[in-house]
Amino acid sequence: MPPDPSRPDLHVIVLAAGEGRRMRSDRPKVLQPLGGQPMLAHVLDALAPLGPAAVHVVIGAGADRVRDAFEARRPPVRWVEQAERLGTGHAVQQALPSIPAGARVLVLPGDMPLIRTESLERLVGIDAPLALLTFEPGDPTGYGRILRDDAGRPVGIREERDASARERQIGEVNSGVMLADAECLADWLGRIGNDNAQREYYLTDVVGLAVADGAAVATASCGESREALGANDRVQLAALEAALQARRRRALLDAGVSLPVPDQVQLRGRVEAGRDVVIDVGAVLEGTVVLGDGVEIGPGCVLRDCRLAAGTRVEAYSVLDGAETTGACRIGPFARLRPGTVLAAGVKIGNFVETKNAVLAEGAKASHLSYVGDAEVGAGANLGAGTITCNYDGVNKHRTVIGSDAFVGSNSALVAPVTIGDRATIGAGSTISGNAPADALTVARARQKSLPGWKRPTRKS
C-alpha cells in the first residue's frame, strides 16, 4: 500500500497529451529521456513529496506507450485519456470528474522536468482559490505573459500568439503550473471558449474569469528561472540535459566528491558517494551507483548499477555493469565487469579482462586478457594472461570453480563444468576439461619436442 498522503485534499493533474511533433521522434514527448529517465518521471518525482491524494496524468499521443513505461510506478498514477487535443483547459477538464469537489488541484505540464519540489511547495502553501507559478526567463518568447493591474494584482494571462506588441514586452510569464480550488476550476473551465489564435481551450483563460468573479489570484515565483523551461525540440532538450547535469554535478561537489573536470561527467541516475571520492573526466554513471569512501573512478569509465567498497580504484576506460566490490579492489584499465561480478578486498582485474557472474575471493587476480564467467575464484588465486572459462557449450552455461591459491598458467582454457583444487597449478597453454586436484601440477597440452638435424625447406631453383 502507498503511504498515506500528507495532503489528502490535494489532487495533481499532469498534462502529457502532447505528441511533441518538433522532437521529430516516434517516442511520445514525455518519454523523451533526460538524465537517463523519461521526462515525465522527473515531474512525478518532483511532485511526489507533496503527498497528494492522487496524481492524474492526461495522455493522448502514444498513450499506451506512456502507460506501459510507468506501469511499475508506485503509488500508481491515474491515467486520463484526452481523445482530442483541444487545449490545456480541455485537458484539465478531462481529469476533473475524478476529483472530489472539495479538493485543491495542482496542474502542471508533463514536459517541465527541471521543476523542483521546493517551488511546488511554495505554490501549494498558498491559500487562495487560484494561484500561479510564474518566472522571468531571459527571453519570454513563446510563453503566456502575466498581465497585472496598476496595483500589481494579476488580472490575466495572454498567450504569445494573442498578445499585442506591448504585452509581448512583459518579462513575467506563466510557468504552466497552477493551483486552484476544484469547484471553482470546474466552473471557470465550463465558461472558457476557444476564440483565440490557436482555436484552443486555454487553461490560462481561467485567470481572467477568476478576476471577473472577484476571486483572489495569487502568484509565487520559481526559485530558479530554468526550472520552468520546457522541452519542445531537441535543442531545448539538450539545454535541459545540460542544466540537469550541472545541477546533479553541483550536488555531488557540495557533498564532497571531487570532479576534476565537472562538465565532462555525465550523471544519468542516482549516485551515492562517501568521502574523498574522485570521478575523473569523461565518466558516465547510470542507474544506482554507490561509491564508498576514497573510491576513484578513472577517465572514460562507464558505471551502471554498481556498488564499490571504500578504497576501490577503477582505472581508465573500464565498463562496469551490475558489479560489486566488497573491499578495496583495483580494476582496469580497459576492464569489463558484467552483472553478477562480486569482488572481495584486494582483488585485481587488469586490462582486457571480462567477468560475468563471477565471484572472486580476497586477493584473487586476473591481470590480463581473460574471460571469467559463471565462476567462483578462491582467495589468492592467480589467473594468468589469457585464462578463459569456457562456460558455454552452445546450449547451456556451466560453472567453473577455482580453489584458493590456485595458479592457472597463461592461455589456459578451463572447460566447464570443472573444478580446480586449492593450490593447484595449471601449466600454461592447457585445455582443462576434467577436474584438477589440489596441490598438484596439471598440464594438458602436447609435449614439446625438438628434431635435431631438421632442415628448413630451400627455394626451388
Q: Which does 85 bind (CB under 5 to 8 A by kind): Mg ion, ligand UD1, none?
A: ligand UD1
Q: Which residue's CB is nearer to ligand UD1, number 159 or number 405? A: 159
The amino acid sitting at 148 is: R
Site for ligand UD1 in 143-162 (CB under 6 A): 143-144, 157, 159
* CB contact at 8 A, 211 and 146: no
Q: Per the residue annotation, which of 42, 90, 368, 398 is the catalytic one? A: 368
Residue 74, judged by CB atoms within 10 A of its CB (0-12, 13-18, 19+), counts as exposed
Q: Which does 421 bind (CB under 5 to 8 A by kind): Mg ion, ligand UD1, none?
A: none
Q: How far apart are the first and last CA of the chain?
A: 91
Q: Which residues pair with 273 in a beta bridge?
A: 291
Residue 16 near ligand UD1 by CB under 6 A: yes
Q: Which residue's CB is nearer to ligand UD1, number 65 or number 398? A: 65
Q: Which residue's CB is nearer to ligand UD1, number 57 or number 271? A: 57
Stretch that binds ligand UD1, among 85-93, 257-265, 296-304, 321-329 (CB under 6 A): 85-93
90 is catalytic: no
Site for Mg ion in 216-275 (CB under 5 A): 230
Residue 173 near ligand UD1 by CB under 6 A: yes
Residue 58 near ligand UD1 by CB under 6 A: yes
The Cα–Cα gap between 349 and 327 comes to: 13
Continuous H helices in 49-202: 63-69, 88-95, 117-124, 182-189
Q: Which residue's CB is nearer to ligand UD1, number 158 or number 348? A: 158
If DSSP codes are grouped into helix, strand and coil, which group holds residue 243?
helix
Q: How many CA atoms lie within 13 Å of 147's alpha carbon, on the beta-carbon side?
A: 18
If DSSP codes are grouped into helix, strand and coil, which group holds residue 409?
coil
Q: Which of 91, 130, 179, 289 binds ligand UD1 (CB under 6 A)?
A: 91
The Cα–Cα gap between 365 and 379 comes to: 9
Stretch that binds ligand UD1, among 10-18, 181-189, 208-216, 288-296 (CB under 6 A): 10-18
Q: Which of 32, 37, 119, 204 binds ligand UD1 (CB under 6 A)?
A: 204
The C-alpha cell that represents 90 in the structure block? 480541455
Phi-psi region of 423 (alpha: psi -120 to 50; beta: other; left: phi over 0): left
Q: Which of 10, 11, 12, 18 binds ligand UD1 (CB under 6 A)?
A: 18
Taking CA 208 as the corner, what is the angle to CA 203 and CA 210, rounded to the nearest 5 degrees? 90
Residue 86 near ligand UD1 by CB under 6 A: yes
The Cα–Cα gap between 327 and 324 comes to: 9
Residue 203 near ligand UD1 by CB under 6 A: yes
Q: What is the dihedral of CA 75, 81, 87, 90, to 10 degrees?
A: -90
Residue 202 near ligand UD1 by CB under 6 A: yes
Stretch that binds ligand UD1, among 109-117, 246-254, 346-354, 387-395 (CB under 6 A): 109-117
Q: Which residue's CB is nearer to ligand UD1, number 201 or number 371? A: 201
The C-alpha cell that represents 222 in the structure block? 520559481
Q: Which residue's CB is nearer to ligand UD1, number 135 or number 371? A: 135
Q: Which residue's CB is nearer to ligand UD1, number 208 or number 230? A: 230
Q: Which of 10, 12, 13, 17 binds ligand UD1 (CB under 6 A)?
A: 17
* CB contact at 8 A, 53 and 103: yes
The Cα–Cα gap between 89 and 196 comes to: 13
The amino acid sitting at 325 is: T
Q: Which does 70 bind (CB under 5 to 8 A by kind): Mg ion, ligand UD1, none?
A: none
Residue 172 near ligand UD1 by CB under 6 A: no
The Cα–Cα gap between 252 and 248 comes to: 6
* CB contact at 8 A, 344 and 327: yes
Catalytically active residues, by annotation: 368
Give residues in contact with ligand UD1 (CB under 6 A). 15-18, 58, 82, 85-88, 90-91, 109-111, 143-144, 157, 159, 173-176, 202-204, 230
Give residues in contact with Mg ion (CB under 5 A). 230
